Amino acid sequence: MQSRMHYAAGHMTLRSAIQEHDGRLSAADQRLIAELLGSPAEAAFLSAAELAARGGVHQAAATRLAKKLGYRGYPHLRSDLQSELLDSIGPGERVRRRLAHTDGEGVLASMVADEVAALADLPSQVRQEHLDTAARLISSANRIFLFGHGHATALVDLLARRLRRSGHLAVPLVGSPRDLAEEVALLAADDLVVAFAFHRRPPGLRSVLRRAADGGARTLLIADAVGPLLRPQPTVLLAARRGIETEFQSLTVPMAICNALVLTLARLDPGSMSALDRLTGLIDEFESE
């Protein structure tokens, strides 16, 4: 049996792996595959136990199927399915799915209900101890480099501004690939990279994380369901679902993470509050002229 490394090198999909093993799959395998491929938008985010329950088979059957197809275990199979799913749906299709999801409701009412549900689930995915660890990374960093792409640049601007107000040297990583290369070339062991990733890996993220690792800098990644799939993994990962992965999603959840992170920093680091007080005095001085 070929290893999953062979599939990755050849860019083979889960469907290709299944086809390659056609004729060697048991009845239990077939039932699980029917669930995986029949409703990939749901199945891609099920645990082995949940998938097995839907297929009416023992939980161990999911692990056996994954290994039969060349994966190290079910989580690796699920990661491949998630990647294939998220990469296959463009922005237009996500908007159409979101509109269909309203079922005649007003767009605003439907969206608010979904955002409230996603926010209510956030504390179960990003616990306070995770925020404490991330805040300590920020507090101990000499410089904080912030990386984002597309819509995530709004969060880069927001967090950079809030960190500067709290007395930290925040450097947004923006511009051309050459500009990014020049900035990350300066990363040192006492620096921190804060990166954002939503829906798929943004261009340049892998290189930024690798350069940080090479320079001994620590990394903090704020992401949605794609976070656990990304490599190399960061020092700290704050990942939370923003709603239904195959539909249009907003930045409400990651913005809440950023704001909670800033408040946690203020609670743990007295220097942040002192910096805010100094800023207030400086603003008053400038406005009085």
Give the DSSP per-residue string, 56-112. TS-THHHHHHHHHTT-SSHHHHHHHHHHHHHHH--HHHHHHHHHHHTTTS-HHHHHH
- Using only C-alpha atoms, the chain has a radius of gyration, in whole angstroms, of 22
Domain residues of the chain, as ranges?
4-88, 127-288
CATH topology match: 4-88 vs 127-288: no
Res 97: pLDDT: 65
pTM tops 0.95, yes or no: no
**Residue that has been written with the tokens 């709004």 in this structure:** 154
CATH fold for the domain made of 127-288? Rossmann fold (3.40.50)
Taking only the tens of pLDDT, the chain with its 289 residues reads 344 433 333 344 677 788 888 778 899 999 999 888 887 767 777 888 889 999 999 989 999 999 998 888 888 888 777 777 766 666 676 667 677 777 666 888 888 888 999 999 999 999 999 999 999 999 999 999 999 988 899 999 999 999 999 999 999 988 788 888 888 888 999 999 999 998 778 888 989 999 999 989 999 999 998 888 777 889 999 999 888 766 777 899 999 999 999 999 999 988 887 887 788 888 888 888 7
**4-88 in CATH: which number?**
1.10.10.10
